Amino acid sequence: MSSTERAAAGTADYLDQRTGVASAVKGFARKIFPDHWSFLLGEIALYSFVVLLISGVFLTMFFVPSMGLMEYEGPIASMNGQLMSEAFASTLDLSFEVPGGLLMRQIHHWSALLFMAAIVTHMMRVFFTGAFRKPRELNWMVGFILMILGLAAGFTGYSLPDDVLSGNGLRITDGVVKSIPLVGSYMSYMIFGGEFPGEHIIPRLFTLHILVVPALILALIGLHLLFVVLHKHTQYPGGGRTDKNVVGFPLFPVYVAKAGGFFFIVFGVLALMGGTMAINNVWNYGPYDPSPVSAGAQPDWYMLFLEGSLRLMPGQTEFVIAGYTLSLNVLIPAVVVPGLLFTFLAVYPFLEAAVTKDKREHHVLDRPRNVPVRTGLGVAFLAEFILLALAGSNDLIATHFDLSLNAITWVFRVGFFVLPVIAFWVTKRICLGLQRKDRELVLHGHETGRIVRFANGEYIEVHKPISDEERWLRVNYDAHRPLEIEPREDSRGVRRKGFRKDQALQALSRFFYEDRVEPVTPAELAAAHSHGDHDSLGSAEDSESALAIAGAPRDAAPAPDQQSDDHGHMS
Amino acid sequence: MKALAARRHHRATPVVLLLLALLVTGGVYAALASSPASADTTMSDDIETGDKLFQANCATCHGPDAEGTESAPSLIGVGAASVDFQVGTGRMPMQANGPQALEKPVQMTAEQTRQLAAFVASLGAGPAIPTAEQVDPTLGDASNGAAVFRTNCAMCHNAVGAGGALSEGKFAPALWDVTPTHIYEAMATGPQSMPVFNDATLTPEEKRDVIAYLVEQREGSAGGLDLGSLGPVSEGLWVWIVGIGALIGCSVWIGAKSS
């Protein structure tokens, strides 16, 4: 044993005797994680948050959160001699006079954009694969709150430099708060400590940005990861993967190396972006003054949907009732629309559980095609979000594609109502189509393109049977059916309590599961293999015999010996 | 010399001196006044040629007397600066109707542009073409220019002059490649949808400050690639393309090395 090994062993022993850490380390090191690139999306978010903390601490050393006015003297010619807040001046100083300051600021801002982008991408993966199902609904909520906190962190940080652009954002915030009926103007006074912009908002946002929000994010990240350990990681469907096992590699050494290395990749990409791509040049916008608004005044991308929502809303919806203004033109786009979008995200797992009445635990992910309505709703949501973000960039679309701003706005106004419906319908149809294709493949095998003519003149195409793994992937899912509810009246003719609620739930359940493609059952497979003339079997969607067996779809995975049945090669 | 001194008091002396003085004055006047006289002829030549150019290229829309028609405004009193801007940037003569006259390859030579400007200037008093000193960015104060630009120009042209959209397909163009003279003239004459910033609104010194600020922006961004100087939208686009794009690429790579 070398001296370093002895030292390491000694240290480990010292720690273990005092903390009992060895069993935990052993447990973690042997913990199995499934492998898939999409499981790294959440890690991108985690690592960009770490980069945010590191670069943020650096910036805090030099930033002065004060709205006190001063005259700037420094290396930026276009700002020399101008009156500005200390917050803005210190942003200029830390960018141009602190060595490495501009790099740190740019890394910080790019990390913030990447943090939100990674959260959204990670959320999409979780949504479309159904990873939010029992037992992970609470972790979905934690993730949802983390996303909201990410927005809050981004918003409070974006406003700190006190430049014209961020001031415009605060002015919109002020308008949105004031549009809330009855309490709006009082809330605005409370937030800004008087009439906008006042002298308090920067220090207040600073406290939120460097203390409250990051502390909450850190705590919830801890909870988020704790849940992952408790629930174990989900895995994609595939040969041998069930709800009762985890197929993958141990944390040590494989994932320790992968995850550790990935941190440096994320840090490296962010450092490259911070080093080569300018972001938020506040000296271009100038110190905040409530009068100017420049063309192309937009928030960071994750708030762009709100900007778009405001831009699309017709202005005629402001009413004065008995001397009080009701600004529906601000209230609807800036409070109601995001409220609906976020509520959908927050409650979706619970909604799906209610219409499915599925109380089992799920650790194998869904293929998006196998839950057509969920996939359709997700794509519709994304379509709406992207449309609103584009509407928030309508001026840039107009200048870069030589279009009329007014025409774009009208197209988006119509699209706001129409596009999600089309996106939903098209996605659902594609999913059902893919499912039918899977059925076809399981029943008939791969087409080979080889045509054989029999002596009697009949032509057939030779089909190649699919492998066990391929079949497992395609039959091992649940095709949920609409809920069946108790009748309106019980046996004695008394009207049942809660019938209305059940009825509504059933209607929703029909919307989810009316159209479905059942997985191939062993009986169907056997039938397809035994008589070549299986066209007479019909589709399982309306086949009663299929419904009778489909009660246990998890058993549908065929036994390996069925593969050797060579009758099914030809159809 | 003595002879001259002797005749100093001759009675014809005053007459001779007067004649001499007249001769010298006349000669000097003739010598000195000849150049303005010839300039006058050039000027009138310019106006004449400009008139011909105008009739050939502009009168269809602006009318033979430049008094304007239903489709184009009167040019009386718009000044030489307006012609130099519109023709010098290729916006005029206009080739197609649209939300606004577009910048295109210049149709007239510098000489023709000058002649047209002289003609239009002769129709009525208007802003003149600025001198080189009036538009010299090195003489301007970029800091004051930034403040003036922020309050007067940035709402259409973007904070650093990258351009922006107006209603119904109109737009405020990017200012990256516009010459200082044309920037000055645009402020003085207010082409298309742009308001006029006359010398009472923005003094010539303030106009030069704005030019100094805009020219300074062309030096690029301290932080690296400026991504079009379009603000958060282009930054957001690039974080998805470069940031998420590269990292998903790396994720797939890491995921693929599992077995």
Query: Given the structure tokens 């686009």, which residue do they identify?
Result: B237
Q: Please tell me the distance from the alpha carbon of residue A495 to that of residue A503, in angstroms, as a whole number.
A: 13
Q: Which of A111-125, A355-369, B64-78 has the highest mean pLDDT?
A: A111-125
Q: Give residue B1's pLDDT band: very low, low, confident or very high (50, 70, 90).
A: low
Residue A531 is predicted with a pLDDT of 58
Is A441 a residue whose pLDDT tops 70? Answer: yes
Residues 6+ apart with CB under 8 A from A426: none
Contact residues, chain A, for B159 at CB < 8 Å:
164-165, 284-286, 294-296
DSSP, res B7: G
Mean pLDDT for chain A overall: 89
Residue B6 inside a domain? The answer is no
Residues B73 and B94 in one domain: yes
Residues A312 and A439 in one domain: no
Residues B213 and B195 in one domain: yes
Is B35 a residue whose pLDDT tops 60? Answer: no
Residue A246 is predicted with a pLDDT of 86
Contact residues, chain B, for A40 at CB < 8 Å:
251, 254-255
Of A212 and B257, the one with more pLDDT: A212
Is A37 a residue whose pLDDT tops 80? Answer: yes
Interface test with B, best of A82, A301, A305 (most B CBs within 10 A): A301
Residue B48 inside a domain? The answer is yes
Is B250 annotated for ligand binding? no
Residue B214 inside a domain? The answer is yes
Q: What is the mean pLDDT of residues B83-102?
A: 89
Q: Which of A301-310, B77-86, B160-169 has the highest mean pLDDT?
A: A301-310
Is B253 a residue whose pLDDT tops 80? Answer: yes
Q: Give residue A107's pLDDT band: very low, low, confident or very high (50, 70, 90).
A: very high
Name the H helices within A337-458.
Answer: 337-356, 372-392, 394-400, 405-444
* Predicted confidence (pLDDT) per residue in A80-96, tens digit: 899 999 999 999 999 99
* Residue B250, φ and ψ in degrees, nearest 5: -65, -40
Residue A189 inside a domain? The answer is yes
Question: Which residue, of A366, A385, A409, is where some domain finishes?
Answer: A366
Longest dimension (CA), chain A: 99
Residues A361 and A463 in one domain: no
Interface test with B, best of A98, A291, A396 (most B CBs within 10 A): A396
Q: Please tell me the distance from the alpha carbon of residue A164 to that of residue B146, in angstroms, as a whole number.
A: 12
Size of interface A-B (CB pairs under 8 A): 204
Question: Which residue, of B126, B144, B167, is where some domain finishes?
Answer: B126
Interface test with A, best of B168, B230, B247, B257 (most A CBs within 10 A): B247
> Per residue in A107-145, is it b (16+ CB within 10 Å) or e — as a string?
bbbbbbbbbbbbbbbbbbbbbbbbbbbbebeebbbbbbb
Task: Answer whether B157 sits within 8 Å of A281, measured CB to CB.
Answer: no
Q: How many CB atoms lie within 10 A of CB A51?
A: 23
Residues B98 and B144 in one domain: no
Q: Please tell me the distance from the alpha carbon of residue B74 to that of residue A243, in angstroms, as a whole number.
A: 81
Q: Please tell me the distance from the alpha carbon of residue A273 to that of residue A491, in angstroms, as a whole number.
A: 71
Is A455 a residue whose pLDDT tops 90? Answer: yes
Q: Please tell me the distance from the alpha carbon of residue A36 to that of residue A68, in angstroms, as a whole number.
A: 52
Distance from the Cα of B77 to chain A's closest Cα (Å) equals 31
Rounded to the nearest angstrom, the gap between the alpha carbon of residue B70 and the centroid of all alpha carbons in its chain is 26
Task: Answer whether A295 sits within 8 Å of B155, measured CB to CB.
Answer: yes
ω into B93 cis (within 30 of 0): yes
Q: Please tell me the distance from the alpha carbon of residue B170 to that of residue A369, in angstroms, as a whole number.
A: 45
Which residue in chain A has the smallest CA separation from B166? A405
* Predicted confidence (pLDDT) per residue in A62-72, tens digit: 999 999 999 99
Contact residues, chain B, for A269 at CB < 8 Å:
242-243, 246-247, 250
Residue B143 is predicted with a pLDDT of 92
Q: How many CB atoms lie within 10 A of CB B94?
A: 18
Contact residues, chain A, for B244 at CB < 8 Å:
44, 114, 117-118, 121
Residues A132 and A266 in one domain: yes
Could you give the ipTM of this predicted complex? 0.87
Interface list for A 37-56 with B (CB within 8 A): 37-41, 44
Task: Answer whether B225 sits within 8 Å of A261, measured CB to CB.
Answer: no
Cβ of residue A284 closer than 8 Å to a chain B Cβ: yes
Of B106 and A566, the one with more pLDDT: B106
Is B156 a residue whose pLDDT tops 90? Answer: yes
Q: Please tell me the distance from the alpha carbon of residue B100 to that of residue A30, in angstroms, as a whole number.
A: 70
* Residue A325, φ and ψ in degrees, nearest 5: -90, 130
- Whichever domain contains B134, its CATH number is 1.10.760.10
Which residue in chain B has the smallest CA separation from A119? B244
Q: Which is nearest to B193 in space by CA: B167, B175, B211? A: B167
Task: Answer whether B254 sits within 8 Å of A37, measured CB to CB.
Answer: yes
Task: Answer whether B233 sits within 8 Å of A78, measured CB to CB.
Answer: no
Q: Please tell me the distance from the alpha carbon of residue A120 to that of residue A144, in angstroms, as a whole number.
A: 10
Q: Please tell me the distance from the alpha carbon of residue A493 to that of residue B80, in angstroms, as a whole number.
A: 96
Is B44 a residue whose pLDDT tops 90? Answer: no
Residues A329 and A459 in one domain: no
Host domain of residue A468: 428-569
Q: What is the mean pLDDT of residues A453-477?
A: 90
Task: Answer whether A113 sits within 8 Å of B235, measured CB to CB.
Answer: yes
- Whichever domain contains A164, its CATH number is 1.20.810.10
Q: Give residue B93's pLDDT band: very low, low, confident or very high (50, 70, 90).
A: confident
Residues B137 and B203 in one domain: yes
CA angle B129, B154, A204 (to 5 degrees): 155
Residues 6+ apart with CB under 8 A from A515: A372, A428, A432
Cβ of residue A327 closer than 8 Å to a chain B Cβ: no
Q: How far is CA B157 from CA A24, A76, A77, B202, B222, in A?
A: 61, 21, 21, 17, 21
Rounded to the nearest angstrom, the gap between the alpha carbon of residue A408 and the centroid of all alpha carbons in its chain is 27
Count of domains forming chain A? 2
Is the distance from CB of A411 to CB of A451 less than 8 angstroms? Answer: no
Residues A454 and A339 in one domain: no
Name the H helices within A85-212.
Answer: 86-96, 101-128, 137-159, 164-178, 184-192, 201-207
Q: What is the mean pLDDT of residues A353-370?
A: 92
Q: Which is nearest to B229 in space by CA: A284, A336, A416, A208? A: A284
Is B258 a residue whose pLDDT tops 60? Answer: no
Residue B102 inside a domain? The answer is yes
Distance from the Cα of A99 to chain B's closest Cα (Å) equals 13
Is B182 annotated for ligand binding? no
* Predicted confidence (pLDDT) per residue in B98-137, tens digit: 888 888 999 889 889 999 999 998 888 888 899 998 999 9
Is the distance from CB of A459 to CB of A452 less than 8 angstroms? Answer: yes
Q: Give residue B6's pLDDT band: very low, low, confident or very high (50, 70, 90).
A: confident
Residues B135 and B62 in one domain: no
* Predicted confidence (pLDDT) per residue in A191-204, tens digit: 999 999 889 999 99
Residue A556 is predicted with a pLDDT of 41
Tokens of A524: 């169907």
Count of domains forming chain B? 2
Q: What is the mean pLDDT of residues A299-318?
A: 94
Cβ of residue A293 closer than 8 Å to a chain B Cβ: yes
Which residue in chain B has the smallest CA separation from A259? B254
Query: Given the structure tokens 């207010």, which residue do they identify?
Result: B190
Residues A145 and A264 in one domain: yes
Residues A269 and A195 in one domain: yes
Residue A245 is predicted with a pLDDT of 86
Interface test with B, best of A33, A36, A37, A233 (most B CBs within 10 A): A37
Residue B17 is predicted with a pLDDT of 87
Which residue in chain A has the smallest CA separation from B157? A295
DSSP string, A196-211: SSTTTHHHHHHHIIII
Query: Given the structure tokens 């001259």, which residue do they identify?
Result: B4
Interface list for A 100-159 with B (CB within 8 A): 102, 106, 109-110, 113-114, 117-118, 121
Task: Answer whether B142 sits within 8 Å of A37, measured CB to CB.
Answer: no
Contact residues, chain A, for B254 at CB < 8 Å:
37, 40, 258, 261-262
Residues A325 and A467 in one domain: no
Question: Which residue, of A366, A391, A406, is where some domain finishes?
Answer: A366
Q: Please tell me the distance from the alpha carbon of residue A500 to that of residue A7, in angstroms, as a whole number.
A: 71
Residue A496 is predicted with a pLDDT of 83
Q: How far is CA B92 from CA A130, A350, B66, B100, B117, in A?
A: 61, 65, 14, 11, 12
- Residue in B158, B240, B252 nearest the CB of A37: B252
Q: pTM for the complete prediction? A: 0.86
Of B75 and A556, the one with more pLDDT: B75
* Predicted confidence (pLDDT) per residue in A405-427, tens digit: 999 999 999 999 999 999 999 99
Is A224 a residue whose pLDDT tops 50? Answer: yes
Residue A181 inside a domain? The answer is yes
Q: Please tell me the distance from the alpha carbon of residue A284 to that of residue B183, in angstroms, as a whole number.
A: 19
Dihedral sign, Cα of residue A375, residue A379, residue A382, residue A384: negative
Dihedral sign, Cα of residue B144, residue B147, residue B148, residue B150: positive
Q: Which of A170-174, A528-532, B134-138, B162-166 has the lowest mean pLDDT?
A: A528-532
Question: Which residue, of A325, A340, A366, is where some domain finishes?
Answer: A366
Is A166 a residue whose pLDDT tops 50? Answer: yes
Is the distance from CB of B227 to CB of B238 less than 8 angstroms? Answer: yes
Q: Which of A302-306, A461-465, A486-490 has the lowest mean pLDDT?
A: A486-490
Query: Given the structure tokens 């239903």, which residue do they identify?
Result: B70
Interface test with B, best of A306, A385, A399, A410 (most B CBs within 10 A): A399
Residue A397 inside a domain? The answer is no
Task: Answer whether B239 sits within 8 Å of A301, measured CB to CB.
Answer: yes
* Predicted confidence (pLDDT) per residue in A242-297, tens digit: 888 888 888 888 888 888 999 999 999 999 999 999 999 999 999 998 888 988 89
Q: Please tell me the distance from the alpha carbon of residue A53 to that of residue A33, in angstroms, as a whole number.
A: 27
Is A536 a residue whose pLDDT tops 80? Answer: no
Residue A551 is predicted with a pLDDT of 40
Q: What is the mean pLDDT of residues B71-87?
A: 90
Q: Give residue A561's pLDDT band: very low, low, confident or very high (50, 70, 90).
A: very low
Residue A571 is predicted with a pLDDT of 37
Is B5 a residue whose pLDDT tops 80? Answer: no
Q: How far is CA B183 from CA B154, B169, B173, B197, B205, in A?
A: 14, 22, 11, 11, 13
Residue A566 is predicted with a pLDDT of 39
Residues A217 and A344 in one domain: yes
* Predicted confidence (pLDDT) per residue in A325-340, tens digit: 899 999 999 999 999 9
Residue B9 is predicted with a pLDDT of 77
Host domain of residue B182: 130-220
Question: Which residue, of B83, B109, B126, is where some domain finishes?
Answer: B126
Task: Answer whether B145 sits within 8 Å of A118, measured CB to CB.
Answer: no
Is B244 a residue whose pLDDT tops 70? Answer: yes
- Residue in B216, B223, B233 nearest the CB of A298: B233
Residue A1 is predicted with a pLDDT of 66
* Predicted confidence (pLDDT) per residue in B209-220, tens digit: 999 999 998 888
